[in-house]
């Protein structure tokens, strides 16, 4: 079992390479993520930032014929170690997807889904967890009177916050977000960004975004990926004002997309 | 414009041929219904044939077909759905999954009379089930297996990938994910497939010809090792083997209509369920 | 995790059963047929006479049966292919959306009508019609059987061809229209050629259906095991022979074994047709 331990790295990727069949998608990525900080992964599409994110909770395992070399340590434990329990890992590392994907169940059942599959069936406890998670996701006030309604009836922004609440309900320490606002309107995007600002107090957040303003607004640290390689990593403010690498500069000044 | 005119004429020709086909189908249905309907009454459906099928009803054939389809679906449904789940959720692109797919395609194309020979060789003779409900149901189950697999796999694939990913990301195991977040949303497609399979099993004659069907039985079957009468076989016998085929024409039409209603009812039911669930689940 | 592994193994085992069934079909047909190859010898099958019950000399030549199957298949396809391809084109390219939603399931209904009911209809309606039109003594002949079989192949060919036509990218059609071609020209010069592999596969599956069809041909083909290529002669197909004779044949006799040989031949032919059409569909990306 992985024990929570206070240290200055929540996630440590060491020399991670990743392959889709014969094609290498990531090249020797080494990167440390500080606890209770927001780390943004930026870069043009196809640069490997999403692939890297999905390495952090072994989501890529479900794609056939993929392979990873190197190590990913979470709280000092190698998550790709054969002894490591993937279910415990994913309980610790929550994920929010690009396209909001609520289940076609009631709002309550969506949030309670995680606790239930982890064998919690006590109604009162479930209700508490659901309320707490929805409050944390800043959705409670909007849905508290209609928890029994189908989640598919919510607006896009609400659905995405519901997905965040659903991820929070299993009480993770780390939250992975894969372009969580890319399909949303500007107002909902602001909502999500504010929420990320709140959540950073308690969670380690890694967010993939193609929106540089968003990265600049929400993150403490920024990592720039290009063609499967980690080009530059540093404090967000520094990356956006004084990038060291030419490619980073070209990207953030909009010279390529 | 002459180009426009020739296009219009061609379209009319295409339409004429298409509706000609529709008309043929319509006429078949109309003919059977017109002659069959006056024959069908409570007595026809619930009494035994009398005077070697020259009079009376078709109760044993209805009961036999019912037993056969129930037996078929009990065998084919778990196998078919299991195979579909494997193909849709577990199978990787490898030799084994290719082999399974080839097997399903092959099963779908095997002529029904060949299933009959197979059932005779394996179930009737080798397994010593004799000509029996058991042998017939197993034979029919092999025949309808691909129908259930293909429709169920389609239904599973229609469930968005996001449902699976979100569930896995919450720490659910693969099977938990399938059970709680994939199967509930594909159940309609599986029901559709099963109904189509039942319809097919109920209407087939050739596979049961050699494995279960009896010309005439004075009483209803008592165990799975008994022979039964069946609607399609009964119709075949009345129409071709009966000494007075002209005289029993109304009985033939009645039997044909009952069989047709059964099979079409199944198919229409499947369509309705598909539409209903498609409206209910939109994502 | 334990449940998970258990389910995986269970599902793989279930999936293996379909492979097992195919293997068993080949095995058991072969098992029952095989003794014939030693006594009286496989050469007996290649003969022009099918006289399985005789006081003088039993003959197990499958030529008349192959000829019967071939004749009705060719005739049925000659009738069915043009009609069904036209039907598919109309439904996919010309019909209004509403019209399409009604036509498709209606034609699929035809596929679900039991073949014994179609045979019954053929016996009572089609055969007398053929008899009157051609002034024959009996309407039970190859032509009547072919008409019924053509009807049965229609839904198979229409449905799959329609899928193939519908999957031709819209951009092809738009490109053609933008060049000033009329809708009709676009259909026949762009859409149909692009969908041709799918239509070919549909036709092969239709042929498979026709060759394997049993009850309808048994009821209307006239059941005469003679070699004839004249449509108004009564004939007998391979499938009908098995259905008609297997019931009365002594178990394990040469006749019994010969019937299993016919089954094996049918199995191989339909297997090849299916495999080919699958290869075509797969090559052109029309099947997963």
Substitution target in C215, C221, C271, C275 with the highest count of B β-carbons within 10 Å is C215
Whole-model pTM: value is: 0.88
The number of folded domains in chain A is 1
How many Cα atoms occupy the beta-carbon half-sphere of A120 within 13 Å? 20
Tell if the CB–CB gap between A113 and B176 is shorter than 8 Å: no
The string of pLDDT tens digits covering residues C46-73 is: 888 888 888 888 899 899 999 999 999 9
CB C202 within 8 A of CB C157: yes
pLDDT tens for chain A, 257 residues long, are 444 445 678 899 999 999 999 999 999 999 999 999 999 999 998 899 999 999 999 998 888 889 999 999 998 889 998 777 888 899 899 999 988 889 989 999 999 999 999 888 899 999 999 999 999 999 999 999 999 999 989 998 999 999 999 999 999 999 999 999 888 888 889 989 999 999 999 999 999 998 888 999 999 999 999 999 999 999 999 999 999 999 999 888 876 64
Which residues in chain A are closer than 8 Å to B179, comparing Cβ atoms? none
Does residue A139 fall inside a structural domain?
Answer: no
CB B119 within 8 A of CB B138: yes
CB C29 within 8 A of CB B121: yes
Both structure tokens of C236: 């007998």
**DSSP classification of residue C222:** B
Does residue A167 fall inside a structural domain?
Answer: no
Which residues in chain C are closer than 8 Å to B6, comparing Cβ atoms? 184
pLDDT tops 80 at residue C205: yes
pLDDT of residue B80: 95
Q: How far is B108 from chain A (nearest CA, A)?
A: 28
- Nearest CA to A56 out of A167, A205, A191 is that of A205
The set of long-range contacts for A234-242, using a CB threshold of 8 Å and a minimum separation of 24, is A236/A40, A240/A212, A240/A215, A240/A216
ipTM summary value: 0.91
Does residue A39 fall inside a structural domain?
Answer: yes
Does residue A145 fall inside a structural domain?
Answer: no
Q: How far is C14 from chain B (nearest CA, A)?
A: 6
Cis? peptide before B187, omega within 30° of 0: no
pLDDT of residue A2: 44
Pick the CATH number of B42-280 from 3.20.140.10, 1.10.286.10, 1.10.3720.10, 3.30.950.10: 1.10.3720.10
What are the extents of the domains in chain B?
1-36, 42-280
Res. C106 pLDDT band, cuts 50 70 90 = confident
Contacts of residue B82, defined as CB under 8 A and 6 or more positions apart, other chains included, come to C10, C11, C14, C15
pLDDT tops 90 at residue C40: no
A74 and chain B in contact, CB less than 8 A: no
pLDDT of residue B93: 82
For A229-233, B5-9, C71-75, C148-152, which range has the lowest pLDDT when averaged over its residues? B5-9
B22, B86, B111 member nearest C239 (Cβ): B111
Substitution target in A62, A105, A206 with the highest count of B β-carbons within 10 Å is A62
Does residue A137 fall inside a structural domain?
Answer: no
- E strands in A140-228: 174-178, 204-208, 221-226
For B146-155, C113-122, C162-171, C258-267, which range has the lowest pLDDT when averaged over its residues? C162-171
In CATH, what number is assigned to the domain containing residue A55? 3.40.50.300
B279 and chain A in contact, CB less than 8 A: no
For A33-37, B279-283, C152-156, which range has the lowest pLDDT when averaged over its residues? B279-283
Does residue A55 fall inside a structural domain?
Answer: yes
pLDDT of residue C287: 54
- Neighbouring-strand partners of residue A226: A229
Which residues in chain B are closer than 8 Å to C118, comparing Cβ atoms? 28
- E strands in B73-200: none
C25, C113, C116 member nearest B118 (Cβ): C25
Q: Could you say which residues from 115 to 134 on chain A have a Cβ atom under 8 Å away from some Cβ of chain B?
A: 117-118
Residue B147 backbone phi and psi in degrees, to 5: -60, -50
Query: What CATH number labels C62-283?
Result: 1.10.3720.10
Q: 3-state DSSP call for residue A38?
A: strand
Chains that touch A (3 or more CB pairs under 8 A): B
B166 and chain A in contact, CB less than 8 A: yes
Domain that holds residue A209: 11-103+174-252
Contacts of residue C119, defined as CB under 8 A and 6 or more positions apart, other chains included, come to B236, B239, C148, C215, C216, C217, C218, C219, C220
pLDDT of residue C288: 40
The string of pLDDT tens digits covering residues A123-142 is: 999 999 999 999 999 999 99
What value does the mean pLDDT of chain B take?
90
The string of pLDDT tens digits covering residues C237-273 is: 999 999 999 988 888 899 999 999 999 999 999 999 9
B180 and chain A in contact, CB less than 8 A: yes
pLDDT of residue A255: 66
Contacts of residue B207, defined as CB under 8 A and 6 or more positions apart, other chains included, come to B112, B113, B115, B116, B119, B136, B139, B140, B143
Q: What percent of chain B has pLDDT over 70?
A: 98
Over range B96-104, report the average pLDDT: 92
Does residue A228 fall inside a structural domain?
Answer: yes
Q: Could you say which residues from 91 to 130 on chain B have a Cβ atom under 8 Å away from some Cβ of chain A?
A: 92-93
C84, C243, C259 member nearest B209 (Cβ): C243
**DSSP classification of residue A106:** B
Does residue A203 fall inside a structural domain?
Answer: yes
pLDDT of residue A4: 46
Substitution target in B90, B113, B265 with the highest count of C β-carbons within 10 Å is B113
């Amino acid at each position: 079992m992985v024990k929570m331990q206070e240290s200055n790295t929540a996630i440590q990727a060491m020399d991670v390479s990743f392959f889709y069949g014969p094609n290498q998608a990531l090249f020797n990525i080494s990167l440390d993520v500080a606890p209770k900080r927001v780390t943004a992964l930026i870069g043009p599409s196809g640069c490997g930032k999403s692939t890297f994110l999905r390495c952090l909770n072994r989501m890529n395992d479900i794609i056939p014929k993929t392979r990873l070399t190197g190590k990913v340590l979470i709280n000092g434990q190698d998550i790709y170690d054969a002894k490591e329990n993937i279910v415990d890992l994913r309980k610790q590392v929550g994920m929010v997807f690009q396209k909001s994907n609520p289940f076609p169940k009631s709002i309550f059942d969506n949030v309670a889904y995680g606790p239930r599959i982890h064998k919690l069936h006590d109604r009162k406890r479930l209700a508490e967890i659901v309320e707490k998670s929805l409050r944390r996701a800043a959705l409670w006030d909007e849905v508290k009177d209609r928890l029994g309604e189908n989640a598919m009836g919510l607006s896009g922004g609400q659905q995405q916050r519901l997905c965040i609440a659903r991820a929070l309900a299993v009480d993770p320490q780390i939250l992975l977000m894969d372009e969580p606002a890319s399909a949303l309107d500007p107002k909902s995007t602001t909502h999500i960004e504010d929420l990320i600002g709140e959540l950073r107090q308690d969670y380690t957040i890694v967010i993939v975004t193609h929106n540089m303003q968003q990265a600049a607004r929400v993150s403490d640290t920024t990592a720039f990926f290009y063609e499967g390689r980690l080009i530059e990593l540093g404090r967000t403010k520094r990356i956006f004002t004084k990038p060291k690498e030419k490619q980073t500069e070209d990207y953030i000044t909009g010279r390529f997309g | 414009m002459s180009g426009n005119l020739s296009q219009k004429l061609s379209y009319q020709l295409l339409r004429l041929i298409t509706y000609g086909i529709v008309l043929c189908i319509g006429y078949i249905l109309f003919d059977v219904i017109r002659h069959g309907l006056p024959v069908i009454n409570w007595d026809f459906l619930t009494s035994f044939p009398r005077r070697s099928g020259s009079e009376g009803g078709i109760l044993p054939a209805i009961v036999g077909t019912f037993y056969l389809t129930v037996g078929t679906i009990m065998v084919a449904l778990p196998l078919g759905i299991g195979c579909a789940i494997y193909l849709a959720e577990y199978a990787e692109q490898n030799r084994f999954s290719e082999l399974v797919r080839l097997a399903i395609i092959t099963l779908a194309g095997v002529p029904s009379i060949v299933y009959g020979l197979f059932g005779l060789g394996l179930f009737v003779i080798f397994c010593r089930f004799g000509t029996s409900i058991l042998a017939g149901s197993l034979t029919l189950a092999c025949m309808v297996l691909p129908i259930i697999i293909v429709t169920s796999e389609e239904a599973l694939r229609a469930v968005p990938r996001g449902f699976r990913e979100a569930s896995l990301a919450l720490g659910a195991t693969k099977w938990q994910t399938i059970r709680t977040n994939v199967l509930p949303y594909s159940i309609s497609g599986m029901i559709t497939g099963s109904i189509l399979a039942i319809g097919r099993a109920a209407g087939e004659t050739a596979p049961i010809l050699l494995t279960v069907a009896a010309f005439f039985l004075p009483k209803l079957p008592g165990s799975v090792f008994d022979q039964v009468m069946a609607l399609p076989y009964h119709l075949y016998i009345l129409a071709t083997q009966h000494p007075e085929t002209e005289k029993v024409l109304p009985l033939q039409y009645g039997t044909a209509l009952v069989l047709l209603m059964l099979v079409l009812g199944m198919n229409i039911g499947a369509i309705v369920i598909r539409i209903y669930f498609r409206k209910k689940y939109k994502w | 995790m334990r449940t998970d592994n258990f389910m995986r193994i269970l599902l793989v085992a279930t999936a293996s059963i379909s492979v097992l069934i195919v293997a068993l079909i080949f095995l058991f047909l072969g098992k029952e047929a095989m003794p014939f190859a030693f006594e009286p010898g496989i050469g007996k099958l290649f003969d022009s006479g099918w006289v399985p019950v005789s006081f003088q000399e039993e003959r197990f030549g499958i030529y008349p049966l192959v000829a019967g199957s071939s004749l009705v298949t060719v005739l049925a396809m000659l009738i069915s292919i043009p009609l069904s391809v036209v039907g598919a084109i109309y439904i996919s390219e010309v019909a209004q959306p509403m019209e399409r939603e009604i036509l498709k399931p209606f034609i699929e209904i035809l596929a679900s009508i039991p073949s014994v009911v179609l045979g019954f209809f053929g016996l009572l309606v089609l055969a007398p019609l053929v008899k009157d039109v051609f002034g024959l003594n009996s309407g039970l002949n190859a032509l009547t059987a072919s008409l019924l079989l053509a009807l049965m192949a229609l839904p198979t060919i229409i449905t799959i061809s329609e899928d193939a036509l519908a999957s031709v990218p819209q951009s092809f059609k738009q490109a053609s229209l933008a060049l000033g071609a009329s809708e009709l020209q676009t259909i026949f010069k762009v859409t149909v050629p692009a969908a041709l592999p799918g239509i070919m596969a549909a036709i092969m599956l239709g042929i498979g259906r026709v060759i394997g069809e049993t009850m309808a041909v048994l009821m209307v083909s006239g059941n005469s095991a003679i070699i004839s290529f004249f449509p108004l002669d009564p004939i007998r197909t391979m499938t009908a022979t098995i259905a008609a004779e297997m019931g009365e044949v002594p178990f394990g006799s040469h006749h019994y074994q010969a019937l299993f040989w016919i089954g094996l031949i049918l199995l191989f032919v339909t297997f090849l047709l299916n495999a080919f059409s699958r290869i075509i569909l797969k090559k052109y990306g029309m099947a997963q």
